[in-house]
Amino acid sequence: DTGVSQDPRHKITKRGQNVTFRCDPISEHNRLYWYRQTLGQGPEFLTYFQNEAQLEKSRLLSDRFSAERPKGSFSTLEIQRTEQGDSAMYLCASSQGAGKVDGYTFGSGTRLTVV
Protein backbone atom coordinates (compact mmCIF):
# COMPACT_ATOMS: atom_id res chain seq x y z
CA ASP A 1 0.00 0.00 0.00
CA THR A 2 1.43 3.38 -1.01
CA GLY A 3 -0.44 5.46 1.54
CA VAL A 4 -3.19 7.98 0.89
CA SER A 5 -3.35 9.12 -2.74
CA GLN A 6 -4.97 12.31 -3.96
CA ASP A 7 -5.69 13.33 -7.51
CA PRO A 8 -5.04 15.78 -9.03
CA ARG A 9 -2.10 17.40 -7.21
CA HIS A 10 -2.89 20.78 -8.68
CA LYS A 11 -6.03 22.27 -10.21
CA ILE A 12 -6.50 25.71 -11.70
CA THR A 13 -10.07 26.60 -12.55
CA LYS A 14 -12.07 29.63 -13.51
CA ARG A 15 -14.53 31.09 -11.06
CA GLY A 16 -17.92 29.52 -11.45
CA GLN A 17 -16.68 26.17 -12.72
CA ASN A 18 -17.18 22.88 -10.91
CA VAL A 19 -14.24 20.78 -9.73
CA THR A 20 -13.95 17.28 -8.33
CA PHE A 21 -11.10 15.79 -6.32
CA ARG A 22 -10.45 12.14 -5.59
CA CYS A 23 -8.91 10.46 -2.57
CA ASP A 24 -7.85 6.84 -2.25
CA PRO A 25 -7.27 5.97 1.41
CA ILE A 26 -5.14 3.21 2.89
CA SER A 27 -7.15 0.10 2.07
CA GLU A 28 -7.63 -1.22 5.60
CA HIS A 29 -8.64 2.17 7.03
CA ASN A 30 -12.34 2.55 7.73
CA ARG A 31 -12.33 6.32 8.35
CA LEU A 32 -11.71 8.97 5.70
CA TYR A 33 -11.45 12.71 6.32
CA TRP A 34 -11.36 15.87 4.23
CA TYR A 35 -9.56 18.98 5.44
CA ARG A 36 -8.79 22.35 3.89
CA GLN A 37 -5.65 24.37 4.55
CA THR A 38 -5.07 28.00 3.63
CA LEU A 39 -1.85 29.96 3.93
CA GLY A 40 -0.71 30.49 7.50
CA GLN A 41 -3.41 28.28 8.97
CA GLY A 42 -3.56 24.74 10.19
CA PRO A 43 -5.76 22.23 8.41
CA GLU A 44 -9.49 22.84 8.97
CA PHE A 45 -11.93 19.96 9.18
CA LEU A 46 -14.53 19.66 6.43
CA THR A 47 -16.12 16.23 6.77
CA TYR A 48 -15.47 12.61 7.57
CA PHE A 49 -16.76 9.16 6.69
CA GLN A 50 -16.81 5.92 8.58
CA ASN A 51 -17.02 3.32 5.85
CA GLU A 52 -19.61 4.75 3.44
CA ALA A 53 -21.50 6.81 6.03
CA GLN A 54 -20.81 10.54 6.23
CA LEU A 55 -20.85 11.08 9.99
CA GLU A 56 -19.92 14.70 10.45
CA LYS A 57 -19.81 17.88 8.38
CA SER A 58 -18.28 21.23 9.28
CA ARG A 59 -20.15 24.48 8.85
CA LEU A 60 -17.32 25.31 6.43
CA LEU A 61 -18.88 22.78 4.07
CA SER A 62 -21.40 25.03 2.32
CA ASP A 63 -24.10 23.67 0.04
CA ARG A 64 -21.70 24.12 -2.89
CA PHE A 65 -19.56 21.32 -1.45
CA SER A 66 -20.47 17.66 -1.56
CA ALA A 67 -18.49 14.60 -0.60
CA GLU A 68 -19.15 10.96 -1.26
CA ARG A 69 -17.56 7.67 -0.39
CA PRO A 70 -19.39 5.00 -2.35
CA LYS A 71 -18.78 1.46 -1.12
CA GLY A 72 -16.58 2.77 1.66
CA SER A 73 -13.46 2.89 -0.50
CA PHE A 74 -12.31 5.99 -2.40
CA SER A 75 -13.92 9.38 -1.84
CA THR A 76 -14.68 12.38 -4.00
CA LEU A 77 -15.06 16.01 -2.99
CA GLU A 78 -16.93 18.23 -5.44
CA ILE A 79 -17.09 22.00 -5.33
CA GLN A 80 -19.76 23.59 -7.47
CA ARG A 81 -19.66 27.18 -8.75
CA THR A 82 -16.17 27.76 -7.41
CA GLU A 83 -15.29 31.09 -5.82
CA GLN A 84 -11.89 32.68 -5.29
CA GLY A 85 -12.22 32.01 -1.57
CA ASP A 86 -12.20 28.29 -2.32
CA SER A 87 -8.52 28.52 -3.29
CA ALA A 88 -6.72 26.31 -0.79
CA MET A 89 -4.97 23.01 -0.29
CA TYR A 90 -7.53 20.20 0.10
CA LEU A 91 -6.18 17.37 2.20
CA CYS A 92 -7.54 13.87 2.56
CA ALA A 93 -6.63 11.57 5.45
CA SER A 94 -7.56 8.12 6.63
CA SER A 95 -7.35 6.14 9.84
CA GLN A 96 -8.34 2.82 11.33
CA GLY A 97 -10.71 3.79 14.09
CA ALA A 98 -10.27 7.13 15.82
CA GLY A 99 -6.53 7.24 15.21
CA LYS A 100 -5.70 7.96 18.84
CA VAL A 101 -2.41 6.09 18.84
CA ASP A 102 -1.25 6.22 15.23
CA GLY A 103 -2.90 9.44 14.15
CA TYR A 104 -4.34 10.03 10.73
CA THR A 105 -2.38 9.37 7.52
CA PHE A 106 -2.63 12.36 5.22
CA GLY A 107 -2.24 12.49 1.48
CA SER A 108 -0.14 15.12 -0.26
CA GLY A 109 -3.19 17.23 -1.02
CA THR A 110 -4.79 18.89 -4.02
CA ARG A 111 -3.93 22.54 -4.43
CA LEU A 112 -6.88 24.43 -5.92
CA THR A 113 -6.45 27.85 -7.47
CA VAL A 114 -9.59 29.68 -8.58
CA VAL A 115 -8.89 32.52 -11.01
Partner 1 sequence: DQQVKQNSPSLSVQEGRISILNCDYTNSMFDYFLWYKKYPAEGPTFLISISSIKDKNEDGRFTVFLNKSAKHLSLHIVPSQPGDSAVYFCAAPYGGSQGNLIFGKGTKLSVKP
Residues that bind partner 1 (CB under 8 A): 4, 31, 33, 35, 40-45, 48, 50, 55-56, 58, 91, 93, 98, 100-109
Q: Closest CB to partner 1 among 79 and 92?
A: 92
Contacts of 59 (CB under 8 A, 6+ apart): none
Nearest-approach distance from CB 13 to partner 1, in angstroms: 20
Q: Sign of dihedral through CA atoms 112, 25, 55, 45?
A: negative
Nearest-approach distance from CB 12 to partner 1, in angstroms: 16
Please give the Cα distance from 113 to 43 (Å, whole number): 17
Q: Closest CB to partner 1 among 40 and 85?
A: 40
Nearest-approach distance from CB 86 to partner 1, in angstroms: 19
Residue 18 CA neighbour count, 13 Å, CB half: 9
